[in-house]
Amino acid sequence: MRTIALGLLLGVMGMVGAQAQQTDDARVVLVMTDGLRWQEVFRGADESLLTAERYFDKREVSSLREKYLAATPQERRQKLMPFLWSTFIPQGQIYGDRDAGSDAYVTNGFNFSYPGYSETLTGHGDPRIDSNDDRPNPNLTVLAWLSKQPGFQGKVAAFGAWHVIANAVNPEKCISCTVNAGYDPMAMSPMTREMKLINDIKANSPRVWEDEAYDAPVFETALEFIRVKKPRVVFLSLGETDEWAHAGNYGEYLESAHRVDGYMKTLWDELQAMPEYKGKTTMIFLVDHGRGPAPEEWRSHGQKVPESKYIFMGFMGRDVSTLGVRSKVPPVTQSQVAATLAKYLGLDWNEQEKQAGRPIADAVK
């Protein structure tokens, strides 16, 4: 009798433990790259735009054409973003392929960066955020809220190539968060040799853009922080895709999208090699806004470019159904991302923020 009772007790404890583990261990990595079009993600490189006139001062583009062009959209997108197409999407799902009857769009009405990051991080548009001015977000973000939940204190981190990302997260409201953006050096305790090196490279690289660092040191900063501190929620915001597009440099715009894909692969592979993350992590990938069409408006976005409201959003990893490229489905919006992200962690953002979009039902198991 005694043995049976103990066995039962252990069985019950085991179940409780397993249930608790469902949410206690969950981790999310949110990756955004500024203004990458859904067109490149789903169709690959646009041949009509990949010309010397749209590269560095008419630099030769034959190697880039070799690298990114192919006969079909399926082959071209695979060349542009191989991790996305061979790992992320087959193991997850993605919205926003307008050719397949799936629309994803921003609801803030502005179609530029700060409103898009705020919509993503809060779950709603805000008419007060009508510029890219570097001001603190007046709203509570899902990251700031998460950082106050049990098990998340000191476990939320945000890294932005664009300096304004820090204020979009709002470190004053995200007190226990680690936030590093723009050219600011990363302070970490203990400091590692690698982080010092990354800080040096960032500090001593050309400042092509006044308020935006190159993506590479920003990515490396996030990766090194993850290795050392093992945060549960990471927001990585990259920016070159938008900058090169504004500059009319389609060749480098493609190269930066390709690099982002490589960063996601490196990040995912490293996470799967760490017991803290393996099998426990969901990755989300989207953009703050889209851009206009070829031949000229692809450089631009905003209220005057209506097509720039269209975005893509993908999900992979823990608790994501493997539905691949979504086709002929109802539209989804950027305002649904915050609640979806929280749901992967077993938490209800809509309870806190009534204005927020609901989680994308199909995206969470």
Task: Name the residue nearer to Zn ion (CB basis): 34 or 353.
Answer: 34
Q: State which residue, 277 or 298, has the beta carbon closest to Zn ion.
A: 298
Minimum distance, C-beta of residue 316 to Zn ion, in the bound complex (Å) = 26
Contact 222, 159 (CB under 8 A): yes
For Zn ion, the closer of residues 218 and 234 by Cβ is 218
CB of 196 to Zn ion, least distance (A): 32
- Which residue lies nearer to Zn ion by CB, 44 or 290? 290
Residue with Cβ nearer Zn ion (36 or 142): 36
Q: How far is the CB of 105 from Zn ion (least distance, A)?
A: 17
The residue whose two tokens read 């071209």 is 76
Tell me which residues touch Zn ion (CB under 5 A). Answer: 35, 242
Residue with Cβ nearer Zn ion (240 or 319): 240
Q: Is 146 exposed, middle or buried (0-12, 13-18, 19+ CB in 10 A)?
A: buried
Residue 243 CB, shortest distance to Zn ion, in Å, is 8
Residue 218 C-beta: closest distance to Zn ion, Å: 17
Q: Within a 13 Å sphere around the CA of 153, how many CA atoms are in the beta-carbon half?
A: 2
Q: Which residues contact 131 (CB under 8 A, 6 or more apart)?
A: 114
The region, left, alpha or beta by phi > 0 then psi within -120 to 50, assigned to residue 230 is left
CB closest to Zn ion, residue no: 242
∠ CA 346-347-353, rounded to 5°: 160
Locate 143 and state its tokens. 């990251």
Q: How would you label 222-257 residue by residue, b for 16+ Cβ within 10 Å and e otherwise? A: bbbbbeeeebbbbbbbbbbbbbbbbebbbbbbbbbb
CB of 43 to Zn ion, least distance (A): 21
Instruction: Work out the angle at residue 257's Cα, subtended by the Cα atoms of residues 211 and 114, and round it to the nearest 5 degrees.
Output: 40
